[in-house]
Structure 1
Amino acid sequence: MEHIWEFRWLLLQGTGITILVGVASLVLAIVLGLLGAWAKLSKNAMAQRAANGYTTLIRGIPDLVLMLILFFGGQQLLLDIGEKTGLWGYVEINQFTAGVGTIGFIFGAYMTETFRGAILAIPRGQIEAGIACGMSKSLIFRRIIWPQMVRYALPSFTNNWLVMIKTTALVSVLGLQELVYVANAVGRKFREPFTFLLFVLVVFLLLTAVSQLGLRKLEKKYSVGIRRG
């Protein structure tokens, strides 16, 4: 334990990077999820095919494989395009960008199904009532669709977020000095891998507990006035 205290600032810095990767990935996943849900529910056949292909692709490729492909293959692809078109020179995809991009891209597919299911759960009559009252599409979205979509989506959203925060550990494979990478490196140096990985376990449990507490409060906020059976 003395070594954990000795390297506490380095471990805290790694924890901060882990949280930053998780939050940045979540923002990207929400954006992609909303776009994917819109595409699947639209009447545009091309948009539907693109969204279906996106979710199917994610279900068929392991997270780590996709991350390595983006980190190594994505950079080479950008270099080849820049060389052939002359639009840019050397481009480097760093570990943080590759990690956030991959995790956000992966969970964007899961968020797509979460938001799509939540929107479909909204009674169609309420939307038709809004149209009959002369409400604009943006007003219908703000007053009718969004509040109920959030309420219906939160259980699945919570599960996606809790899985996502654990998935950030994969970024350590790329060499990003987040919590798992730092703990593993220091633990091997002092031949105390179990002690440092136990510390990682505790940190992730705390992150999970805090996340559940915050999302539970958010669920209560959006469930005000809802009678439960």
Structure 2
Amino acid sequence: MIVLKNISKIFRVAGGRKIVADNVNAIFPTGASVGLLGRNGAGKSTMLRMIAGLSMPTSGEILTDGRLSYPVGLASSMHPDMTGAQNALFVARIYGADTDEMIRFVKEFAELGPHFHMPVRTYSSGMRGRLSFGINMALDFDTYLVDEITAAGDASFREKSNAIFLDRVGKRSAIYVSHSTSQIRQICTAGAVLEKGALTYYPDVEEAIAQHDRNMGVK
């Protein structure tokens, strides 16, 4: 379970400030796969980073009783001067995982070829996403945090990514950020909508999608 208590997040910008979260209170229950919806610039990735502990809220606290992944698909989660293999080894050691198994799984899954042994700064955004996804899927988390990763790669890779992700979240929890409502419907059972600093949780993913569509003016 993840609990957001009185969370506010405010950025100072030229000519004023940007409010991502305005005294947000929400509970993401254990076992739910939650699609996080919101318009471009609403702050979905920032919200995911706060839940992961990579960004601090301006005020409030976030509580969890399980082990969270770092956000899959977030380019900054990989060290740019380390190779893909070195990044995988580093993460395996942090989480106490079998390093040989980590390398085997990520090398096979991410399909990076010789780039697996090249610095991540030489990767395209899609390659970084595949590396991040492979590392996370090699580990056992209570909640997987995902930022649009399954859009990376060709159709066969997306199909493979969806299959393994559905297998993982079928046994665990997830918070999934995507602009694709078809992806949200396929993967998520519940939803949350971030709009103008307010976050609303919906136990039924269809209710969340309907509210998001209303926010976007979709008939």
More strand as a share of residues: 2
Q: TM-score, structure 1 length as denominator?
A: 0.27
More helix as a share of residues: 1
Larger radius of gyration: 1
Q: TM-score, structure 2 length as denominator?
A: 0.27
